[in-house]
């Protein structure tokens, strides 16, 4: 497995930053440094800024003259996320203009024309299968939800990115942590980074209503996160505290105030946030089915008792809670109307809250307990992967273009995304931006999504949603078939079959 290292140019620049030596004064009154060199004779090295480091990294990105080559991508449409890779003109919108300027810069540098074909996610699969079967190289690369791109790799229809020398996955514009999750031995079939925003939109987060926090004199969730005390138990305490039968009819429904509003898909996000996975890696780094232990079952039981116990009237659950159809967006509307403290969804769904008339913020999903070292964020299976089909006529040329597109997304497009994501009526920009970056830095994929071995998480979710406190027997029934399918797909990715 390829080891991720910091780019040498970045290391070199960091090492050359001016490090101030302590100074002393001699009996003659001359200031000298630790080496005894007078201040007047010391070489002054200007401090290297982040912009200097970025410019130096960009200078290392390869460039060629491709003589007007038409670079065409197949891309997926989405009903919740930003997916566009091109922009026709500048229009004053941050993301649009950043994409336009990026593409112009790359097109001029490499002497290419850039275009994309946008279709529904199902059509991406159909069109790419047709092209690959026909040996058609119309599309140099394509994007789609990860769970739909992965089968192309399993079936041997994607190139190994590690064979493309122009792509340096150690560069900061690629998401190295997430990529490490989906690397298989010496094979890396997928790309995720700053160039395609649907990837970022698919990170799960926990939104909260600051007004409800203040009204109930609860501690600041931001501080709990910073102190490592943002746990599932703490979240439950907050939810129980704020829930209220506002209309006094003795039934918690859409007219009342809840601790949280969500749907059953949050189960997988809670499990991964608790640092529990359904697929592990063995000593050789090969994915294997995880063996449930005491902590695995304890996490499951806590998720069920916190979120799905019928006695927990503080939970507004899609499909279960009555009278939420009064809101335009159903259970989403419960939060935007100020009737829930917490809101559990991927980042892309924040668009639904643009006009919310209350101050709110975002934090990561809670840890299982304070003993857990790090926060972990679930990257949903509909996060976008880029795949390079085996029909690509010149993989090194495609690599140069993708490296440049991602590199030129690292500055303006990344910032435009943060600015747009947090552009609401009422939000504490500085702290929410801090939390957004924490969420994006803590993202992990679930290999059950990528490797099409869904029965473990499906069993986990369905049992939890039905409030079944016992899962061992149900889980045992799917282990044999899941293990067989996992081994089959991993062997294909490792070229063992």
**Do both 48 and 123 map to the same domain?**
no
Confidence tier at 101 by pLDDT (50, 70, 90): very high
Domain containing residue 165: 64-198+383-413
**Do both 317 and 457 map to the same domain?**
yes
**Is 278 among the domain residues?**
yes
**Do both 365 and 403 map to the same domain?**
no
**Do both 325 and 370 map to the same domain?**
yes
Res. 230: pLDDT tops 90: yes
**Which candidate, 359, 362, 345, places its Cα nearest to that of 207?**
362
**Do both 282 and 246 map to the same domain?**
yes
**What pLDDT, on the 0 to 100 scale, is given for residue 432?**
85
Confidence tier at 20 by pLDDT (50, 70, 90): very low
Average pLDDT over residues 391-402: 97
**What pLDDT, on the 0 to 100 scale, is given for residue 16?**
45
**What pLDDT, on the 0 to 100 scale, is given for residue 3?**
43
Whole-model pTM: value is 0.88
**Do both 469 and 368 map to the same domain?**
yes
**Is 59 among the domain residues?**
no
**What pLDDT, on the 0 to 100 scale, is given for residue 42?**
60
**Is 315 among the domain residues?**
yes
Tens of pLDDT, residues 414-470: 999 988 888 766 565 578 889 999 999 999 999 999 999 999 999 999 999 999 999
Q: How many helices (H) and strands (E) does the chain have?
A: 19, 17
Q: Give the distance, in angstroms, between the CA of residue 54 and the centroid of all CA atoms in the same chain.
A: 22
Q: Give the distance, in angstroms, between the CA of residue 355 and the centroid of all CA atoms in the same chain.
A: 25
**What pLDDT, on the 0 to 100 scale, is given for residue 69?**
98
**What pLDDT, on the 0 to 100 scale, is given for residue 50?**
73
**Do both 177 and 118 map to the same domain?**
yes
Q: How far apart, in whole angstroms, are the C-alpha atoms of residue 138 and residue 392?
A: 8
User: In terms of DSSP bridges, do strands 315-317 and 258-262 run parallel, antiparallel, or are they unpaired?
Assistant: parallel
Tens of pLDDT, residues 174-194: 999 999 999 999 999 999 999
Q: How far apart, in whole angstroms, are the C-alpha atoms of residue 288 and residue 218?
A: 42
**What pLDDT, on the 0 to 100 scale, is given for residue 39?**
62
Is residue 372 classed as helix, strand or coil in its secondary structure?
coil
Res. 21: pLDDT tops 50: no
**Is 349 among the domain residues?**
yes
Tens of pLDDT, residues 314-352: 999 999 999 999 998 899 999 999 999 999 999 999 888
Question: Angle at Cα 234 formed by Cα 280 and Cα 380, nearest 5°?
Answer: 40
**pLDDT > 90: percent of the chain:** 79
**What pLDDT, on the 0 to 100 scale, is given for residue 51?**
76
Averaged pLDDT score across all residues of the chain: 90
Greater confidence, 302 or 79? 302
**Do both 404 and 430 map to the same domain?**
no
Tens of pLDDT, residues 115-147: 999 999 999 999 999 999 999 999 999 999 999
Res. 207: pLDDT tops 90: yes
Average pLDDT over residues 208-229: 96
**Do both 12 and 134 map to the same domain?**
no
Q: What is the DSSP string of 383-437?
A: SEEEE-BTT-S-HHHHHHHHHHHHHTTTTHHHHHHHHHHT--SSB-HHHHHHHHH
Q: CA quadruple 273, 274, 279, 281: dihedral positive or negative?
A: positive
**What pLDDT, on the 0 to 100 scale, is given for residue 356?**
86
**What pLDDT, on the 0 to 100 scale, is given for residue 493?**
97
Average pLDDT over residues 287-309: 96
Res. 302: pLDDT tops 50: yes
**Do both 334 and 459 map to the same domain?**
yes
Q: For 160-164, 268-272, 355-359, 392-396, which range has the lowest pLDDT when averaged over its residues? A: 355-359
Res. 18: pLDDT tops 80: no
**Which candidate, 206, 232, 170, places its Cα nearest to that of 3?**
170
Res. 113: pLDDT tops 90: yes
CB 263 within 8 A of CB 318: yes
Greater confidence, 473 or 31? 473
Q: How far apart, in whole angstroms, are the C-alpha atoms of residue 158 and residue 395?
A: 11
**What pLDDT, on the 0 to 100 scale, is given for residue 52?**
81
**Is 419 among the domain residues?**
no
**Do both 388 and 267 map to the same domain?**
no
**Is 96 among the domain residues?**
yes
Res. 216: pLDDT tops 60: yes
The tally of domains found in the chain comes to 3
**Do both 37 and 141 map to the same domain?**
no
**Is 2 among the domain residues?**
no
For the chain, the helix, strand and coil percentages under 3-state DSSP, each to the nearest 5: 40, 15, 40
We report the CATH number of the domain holding residue 158 as 3.40.190.10
**What pLDDT, on the 0 to 100 scale, is given for residue 428?**
56
**Is 144 among the domain residues?**
yes
């Amino acid at each position: 497995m390829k080891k991720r290292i910091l780019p040498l140019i970045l290391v070199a620049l960091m090492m050359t930053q001016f490090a101030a030596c302590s100074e002393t004064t001699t009996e003659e009154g001359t200031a000298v440094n630790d080496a005894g060199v007078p201040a007047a004779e010391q070489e002054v090295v200007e401090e290297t800024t982040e912009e200097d480091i970025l410019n130096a990294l960009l200078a290392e990105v390869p460039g060629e003259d491709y003589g007007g080559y038409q670079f065409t991508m197949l891309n997926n449409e989405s009903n919740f996320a930003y997916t566009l890779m091109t922009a026709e003109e500048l229009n004053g919108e941050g993301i649009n203009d950043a994409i336009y300027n990026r593409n112009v810069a790359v097109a001029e540098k490499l002497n290419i024309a850039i275009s994309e074909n946008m279709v529904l996610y199902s059509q991406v699969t159909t069109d790419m299968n047709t092209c690959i079967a026909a040996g058609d190289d119309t599309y140099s690369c394509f994007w789609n939800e990860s769970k739909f791109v992965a089968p192309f790799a399993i079936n041997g229809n994607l190139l190994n990115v590690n064979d493309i020398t122009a792509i340096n996955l150690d560069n900061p514009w690629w998401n190295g942590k997430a990529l490490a999750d989906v690397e298989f031995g010496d094979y890396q079939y997928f790309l995720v980074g700053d160039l395609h925003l649907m990837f970022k939109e698919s990170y799960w987060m926990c939104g909260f209503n600051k007004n409800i926090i203040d009204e109930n004199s609860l501690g600041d969730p931001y501080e709990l996160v910073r102190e490592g005390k943002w746990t599932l138990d703490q979240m439950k305490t907050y939810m129980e505290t704020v829930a209220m039968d506002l209309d006094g009819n003795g039934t918690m429904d859409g007219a009342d105030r809840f601790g949280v509003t969500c749907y059953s898909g949050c189960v997988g996000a809670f499990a991964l946030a608790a640092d529990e996975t359904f697929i592990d890696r063995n000593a050789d780094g090969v994915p294997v089915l995880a063996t449930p232990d005491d902590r695995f079952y304890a996490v499951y039981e806590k998720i069920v008792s916190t979120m799905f116990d019928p006695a927990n009237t503080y939970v507004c659950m899609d499909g279960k809670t009555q009278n939420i159809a009064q809101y335009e967006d159903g259970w989403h509307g419960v939060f935007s109307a100020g009737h829930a403290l917490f809101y559990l969804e991927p980042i892309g769904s924040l668009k639904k809250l643009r006009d919310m008339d209350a101050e709110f913020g975002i934090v990561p999903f809670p840890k299982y307990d304070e003993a857990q070292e790090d926060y972990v964020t679930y990257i949903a299976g509909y996060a976008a992967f880029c795949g390079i089909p085996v029909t690509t006529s010149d993989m090194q040329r495609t690599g140069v273009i993708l490296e440049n597109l991602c590199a030129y997304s690292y500055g303006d497009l990344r910032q435009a995304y943060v600015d747009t994501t947090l552009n609401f009526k009422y939000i504490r920009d500085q702290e929410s931006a801090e939390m957004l970056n924490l969420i994006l830095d803590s993202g992990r994929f679930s290999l059950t999504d990528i490797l099409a071995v869904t029965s473990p998480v499906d069993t986990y979710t369905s049992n939890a949603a039905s409030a079944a406190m016992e899962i061992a027997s149900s889980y045992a029934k799917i282990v044999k078939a899941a293990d067989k399918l996992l081994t089959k797909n991993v062997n294909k990715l490792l070229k063992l079959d």
